[in-house]
Structure 1
Amino acid sequence: MAARKPMPVFSDVPACQPTPKAGFWQHAIQPIFIGIAQLWCQLFARNTEPKVWETHDRDGHPIWHVYDPITGYAATVHSEQEVMAWIEERYYYHRGLI
């Protein structure tokens, strides 16, 4: 049986050595590609779910904010019942039932 060669150490492999162009790639070109990839994801993997969040006024009363990313509609309501009514109306609107 033939003896196996030892595994090369990464520093011995020429492809793993840093090159002078690596700095240019990392500092000039790579950020451009990352920006394009992020823009691509934002445009084509856009979340269409409604956004609902709660804040409180100075007196501690809840204020509900609703946002529809499909239409850009945003509103402020003062009760959970109004939020639920908005969600139901949005659901039926986007399905063409209203």
Structure 2
Amino acid sequence: MHAAAEQACGLLRVLSNPDRLLLMCQLSQGEHSVGELETLLSIHQPTLSQQLGVLRSNGLVHTRRDGKNIYYSVASTQALAVMQVLYQQFCPQPLKD
């Protein structure tokens, strides 16, 4: 149980950065290139590269190269599950009539 708690704390520590949280939120919707992420999230290249590197080194994202473009996608099923809960709790849905 202690090992699981440490693993959960590690995941939450990585997600506690607003830029990384935004990146994971966007990537939970599907694969995106670095350029697309920069445009969609308005995170400038140096910060974007740094935060994507943190996500990659912690095993939360995969990369795929296609020519000059690098594409990112979510690699961690645990991170994806946490992102789904965060989305439900913090991203209000429009009321239905």
Q: Which bin holds the TM-score, normalised by the shorter protein?
A: under 0.3
More helix by percentage: 2
Normalising by structure 1, report the TM-score. 0.26
Over alpha carbons, which structure has the higher Rg?
Answer: 1
